[in-house]
Structure 1
């Protein structure tokens, strides 16, 4: 059980930002990541549909990788499916919203917090609820920024065009007085430089991936699931999209080229879940 991998999923490749933090904090752990690029974006989809997709991925990773912990490295899927997956799966399930909200509450000095996320995450109101639970004095301004997901998936992270798009999307925060901004989509830390430029140097950015990795580490330690075998570490990657595109993006964002990326058909995920 201790040598079993940590499983992570995302609607695309943004969840690699969470994987990177998990691998950095827990270098002895085996990992398996599944990016559902073929069905990106999750943001505009219904809660029921996103929950179905999340269940399919969790089932596949449990059956084929024997994961010991499941990370929903997608804010939209966390908002839609976390509670359901925690009830259904026999392994610990961690989302990215609560850790990010707690980190934001610990970061802010004036209790004015901004959140940028997908439309689905903003509509759910989960960040507001979790931030308020951690800091009852907080005031939260949330803005849906689906165009930033597109920028990240296209690997357009530093261009003048990217800066213009991000600046336009963050204009809604002018005059709000926020001193903290939660990058409430796992794609957004990839755009951290242009986001910081757009929002200004006085606003602190919160990457929920860091806090999520810390929560994963705490759970593994508490449940005596840390890998102490000393065996070589493995990292496995799946995508429902284009393998070459995934490999290129992952190689740049993880600072290490994935040895193998396997394509999974969406029909395979659906079939596995139906059998389950």
Structure 2
């Protein structure tokens, strides 16, 4: 049996990373893990993330024996990626804010970074901005509400346009925000509601995320892998049983995750 690719996030946001990888490797076996017992990560401290994520991924790797792990979460990646890589004896691909492509795309040289509170305050974001967007003004806004809105959308709940407009205002109403033309979706939940964000925006904005780049990296790392002729049903794993697990089943099935397990 071919070893799977394991995707890890606090919730369903990592589906925005799974989708381009699945498109690039259409028969690769997939395991998707939502740490709903620890959800949300974006309001946790660095110490909490560093204590939880490496230990949990160690258990998951032992159980599912993947050939590669994708940490499909900006918060976990910007805080714990180095620790996870040191702990696991297999390739680990992280998800970091797509500041480089945003800087390349910006005409006004003013970009926004929309992520969780934990992500936008990380020194990692400072380093990416200095390296790839030194000639840009980089504004940041941390949003816990957008994470919840994305989760609600995948459970089939109707979106609240005013809520999306309020979160964008937190970024665009800052000094200099009127010049923002490109927004980095620096939480994997946010591409799942990119259409809602675009509809609520006061003017046309370009939204950028790292999904395509992660898919290219995974393909490169697994170029020697032999894949089955057809894809087996993917597995969605949750770290606790809860009502949202059943509510998410239709959305998970659309991403090829037809089986559900509780860790």
TM exceeds 0.5? yes
- TM norm structure 1: 0.84
Q: Report how far residue 41 of structure 1 moved.
A: 1.0
8 Å contact from structure 1 (residues 180, 203) kept in 2: yes
Which secondary structure does the structure 2 equivalent of 1:137 belong to?
coil
Instruction: From the superposition, tell whether residues 260 and 149 of structure 1 become closer, same or farther in structure 2 (CA, over 3 Å).
Output: same
CA distance in 2, matches of 1:75, 1:14: 10
Q: Superposition pairs for residues 4-19 of structure 1, below 5 Å?
A: 4-19=3-18
Unaligned runs of 5+ in 1: 265-276
Q: In the alignment, what sits opposite 2:199?
A: 197
Q: Report how far residue 86 of structure 1 moved.
A: 1.8
8 Å contact from structure 1 (residues 10, 34) kept in 2: yes
Unaligned runs of 5+ in 2: none
Q: Superposition pairs for residues 132-147 of structure 1, below 5 Å?
A: 132-147=130-145
Q: Cα RMSD between the aligned structures?
A: 2.4
8 Å contact from structure 1 (residues 16, 254) kept in 2: no
Instruction: From the superposition, tell whether residues 257 and 83 of structure 1 become closer, same or farther in structure 2 (CA, over 3 Å).
Output: closer
CA distance in 1, matches of 2:122, 2:156: 27
**How many residues get paired?**
258
* Structure with greater helix share of residues: 1
Q: In the alignment, what sits opposite 1:29?
A: 28
Q: Superposition pairs for residues 160-239 of structure 1, below 5 Å?
A: 162-172=160-170, 173-174=172-173, 175-176=176-177, 177-221=179-223, 224=224, 226-230=225-229, 232-239=231-238
Q: In the alignment, what sits opposite 1:108?
A: 106
8 Å contact from structure 1 (residues 43, 146) kept in 2: yes
Q: Report how far residue 179 of structure 1 moved.
A: 1.4
Q: In the alignment, what sits opposite 1:240?
A: 239
Superimposed CA distance per residue, residues 224-269 of structure 1 (whole angstroms, 9 cap, x where no aligned partner): 2x334435434221002346623532532662563210112xxxxx
- TM norm structure 2: 0.88
Instruction: From the superposition, tell whether residues 85 and 257 of structure 1 become closer, same or farther in structure 2 (CA, over 3 Å).
Output: closer
CA distance in 2, matches of 1:170, 1:68: 38
Deviating above 6 A after TM superposition, structure 1's stretches of 4 or more consecutive aligned residues are none
Q: Report how far residue 103 of structure 1 moved.
A: 2.8
Superimposed CA distance per residue, residues 181-236 of structure 1 (whole angstroms, 9 cap, x where no aligned partner): 01111111121112112334531001222222222122222xx2x33443543422
CA distance in 1, matches of 2:249, 2:111: 30
Instruction: From the superposition, tell whether residues 152 and 242 of structure 1 become closer, same or farther in structure 2 (CA, over 3 Å).
Output: farther
Q: In the alignment, what sits opposite 1:47?
A: 46
CA distance in 1, matches of 2:252, 2:228: 28
**Equivalent of 1:148 in 127, 146, 149:** 146
CA distance in 2, matches of 1:192, 1:114: 14
